[in-house]
Structures are given as structure tokens and as C-alpha cells.
Amino acid sequence: MRRFGPDKATVVDVARSLGVSHAVIYRHFDSKNALREAVTGLWLDKAVEALAAFVTGRGPADQRLHDWLLALLEGKRRKAREDPALFATYATTVDRTSELVLRHYADMVGQVAAILRDGVAQGIFVCPDPTTTADAVLQATAPFHDPLHVAEWSEPGLEQRFESVWTLIISGLATR
């Protein structure tokens, strides 16, 4: 898929690159789309795994949340820049596979909610419903991680816009 891109790569191409017959691929995947979903799912799982250290780490929850969001932004930007074919596979699958997207989004909401709960326990955040608040945080920061906004990720001033949104988020969560 990296070599030919998500739309041009065939199951035969994938099988050839793995040194197997296309029948072997079809034993594991019903269709090219199923194969694409599996590849994208693994990629998304790795992205969430890379963010887990911010959830389980020590330190103030506000700093960990900031760093989690920034790592999400940087991770997606790096993938779009350094692995454009797989990122295109991801962006294409996002449009087609709601179950995969919902699972990935739920994983991210869960991680942010865990950091928010820790922030409440630390006395840093006021957050009556961490899951709902986590969803709001991800919606507010969507321009920095949603593939629909990939064209904006190379514009100058992205980091400053992120920090402005972060300031609004942290102001809303902070204890008074």
C-alpha cells in the first residue's frame, strides 16, 4: 500500500510483496477494503499506544493533557509527512469505515477522560463528567488531529493556534 497508494494497490500487489499468493490474503481478509481496514486499524492502535505514556505517567494532569494533545498533533503530522501513502489509507478508510473510526475515537476519549479524572483527583480540574469533557476537548482540537484538516497542518502558525485553543481548554477546566 505504501508503494502504490491505497487506491491503486491490489490484493495481488500485497500478496506479491509478502511472497504469498493472493488466495492466502483472501483467507484472512474478505476484500481489499477489509485488508485496508486491518492495516489502518493497526496504525491507529499504534498511535493510541504511543499516547498511553501520558495517561499512566506521573506529574500534573494539566501538563500531561497538554503533552498528550501535542503528541497527537505531532504524530498525525509526522505520519502525513513521512508516510503519505499509509496516511492516505487512513484518511480514505476514515470516510468509509465508521466502526474503525468510532473505536479509535473511543480509545482517545478514554485516554483523555483518564487524564481528566486524575486532574480532578489532583485538584487541578473541575470536571463533573470526564467522558463528556474528553469528547469536548477532542472536538475543540479536531483541526489539529482530524485527517479532514490535513491540508492545514503545514500552514504557518499551527502551533500558535494550538496553544490558543489549549489556553481556552485549560481555562475552562481549571479549578477556581
Rounded to two decimals, the pTM is 0.84
pLDDT digits (tens, 9 = 90+) for 136-145: 999 999 999 9
Domain parsing of the chain, residue ranges? 32-173
pLDDT of 123-171, one tens digit each?
A: 999 999 999 999 999 999 999 998 889 889 999 999 999 999 999 999 9
Q: For 48, which DSSP code? A: H
Going 32 to 37 to 42 to 46, the CA torsion angle's sign is: positive
Residue with cell 497542518: 153
- Is 32-173 a domain of CATH 1.10.357.10? yes
A 10 A CB-CB count for 72 gives 22
Q: Which residues of 43-52 are buried (b: 16+ CB within 10 A; e: fewer)?
A: bbeebbeebe
Cell of 17: 510483496
